[in-house]
Amino acid sequence: MGYLHGYSNTEQRRLVEQAHFLEEKIFESFDLTSCRRMLEVGCGTGAECEILLRRNPDLFVTAIDRSAEQLAKARAHLENRPQLAARCEFIQADAMDLSVFASKHFDSAYFCWVLEHVSAPVEILRQTRSVLVPGARVYISEVFNQTLFVDPAIPALKHYWTRYNSLQRELGGDPDVGVRLGRYLQEAGFRATEVWPKFFLFDSRDHAGRARMMNYWADLMLSAVDQLLERRLILADEVQELKSEWAAARDAPATVFYYHFMQAIGSA
């Protein structure tokens, strides 16, 4: 299965920046203080793992990813932080088969921007549940890309965003998986599931915050540009148009930026 963002150094750097940029928003709703042995699924470059360990001093994280390249980056990222590195291990594994882990081993599991990239999210959640102790919780943050709204409308955005999301679907993923988390958790056998939206709304009241968000969003959108160009889903001129219209909107006093992602917790 392909991967929308790819594994370039630029993308690996972007994931670290993204984790720090979104840290407060992601973690303000998760109380992880009672977690001791966590499985992090799809850890990427280890950026979320670093945050999990920093915020929870009693936590040990087993972090898995199917990509050896991501894991190499993750190990290097944590190597510079030996006190955190002592409380984690990185293992190459596909979340579709977690039989490598003893059944009912972990007291928590964590997913951040992973299920959007998989074709069988329920099976991955089922596998995850099989390695959790009863009552353990899974904590998930996921995209809901249909909610992106910029006012006044940016003509080049609509075209690009439609193609970006189509590519994600073509690669077997789901750019709106966030809104389906409740159903998927239930189908995978999790109980007491809670699902809620987390929104970003930036407008003329906070020009600097809006500019930071829109710069972050430009990097996110453009992380797929090489694949979009290669597949001729988008043309180089259209990318240039998007970049200039996006920059103009970012600097225009009237622009409103809105997006919400979804979070969920389920009990094993």
Ligand X SMILES: C[S@@+](CC[C@H](N)C(=O)[O-])C[C@H]1O[C@@H](n2cnc3c(N)ncnc32)[C@H](O)[C@@H]1O
The residue ranges that bind ligand X (CB under 6 A) are: 3, 5, 15, 19, 42-44, 47-48, 64-67, 70, 94-96, 112-114, 117-118
Rounded to the nearest 5°, which phi and psi values hold at 132? -105, 145
Rounded to the nearest whole angstrom, what is the least distance from the CB of residue 1 to ligand X in the complex? 7
Cα 189 to Cα 124: distance, rounded to the nearest angstrom: 12
Task: Quote the least distance from Cβ 97 to ligand X, whole Å.
Answer: 9
Does a cis peptide bond (omega within 30 degrees of 0) precede residue 175? no
Nearer to ligand X, 126 or 207 (CB): 126
C-beta of 64 vs 268, nearer to ligand X: 64
Name the β-bridge partners of 261.
Answer: 198
Rounded Cα–Cα distance for residues 160 and 227 (Å):
12
- Report in angstroms how near the CB of residue 209 gets to ligand X at its nearest: 21
Nearer residue to ligand X within complex by CB, 91 or 192: 91
Nearer residue to ligand X within complex by CB, 123 or 245: 123
- Min dist CB 100 to ligand X, Å, is 12
Torsion of CA 125, 77, 54, 208, to 10 degrees: -90
Q: Least distance to ligand X from the beta carbon of 135, Å? A: 24
Task: Give the shortest CB-186-to-ligand X separation in angstroms.
Answer: 21
Nearer to ligand X by Cβ, of 70 and 193: the residue is 70
Element (H, E) at 31: none
Give me the residue whose beta carbon is nearest to ligand X: 44
Q: What is the DSSP letter of 214?
A: H
Angle of helix 68-79 relative to helix 47-55, nearest 10 degrees, comes to 40
Angle at 160 between CA 164 and CA 207, to 5 degrees: 105
Please provide the DSSP assignment of 150-205 as one string. Answer: EES--HHHHHHHHHHHHHHHHTT--TTGGGGHHHHHHHTT-EEEEEEEEEEEE-TT
Helices within the chain (DSSP H only): 9-27, 47-55, 68-79, 82-85, 121-130, 155-170, 181-187, 207-222, 225-230, 236-251
Q: How far is the CB of 158 from ligand X (least distance, A)?
A: 23
Q: How many CA atoms does the CB half-sphere of 29 hold within 13 Å? A: 17
Residue closer to ligand X by CB (options 95, 213) is 95
Q: Which C-beta is closer to ligand X: that of 143 or that of 150?
A: 143
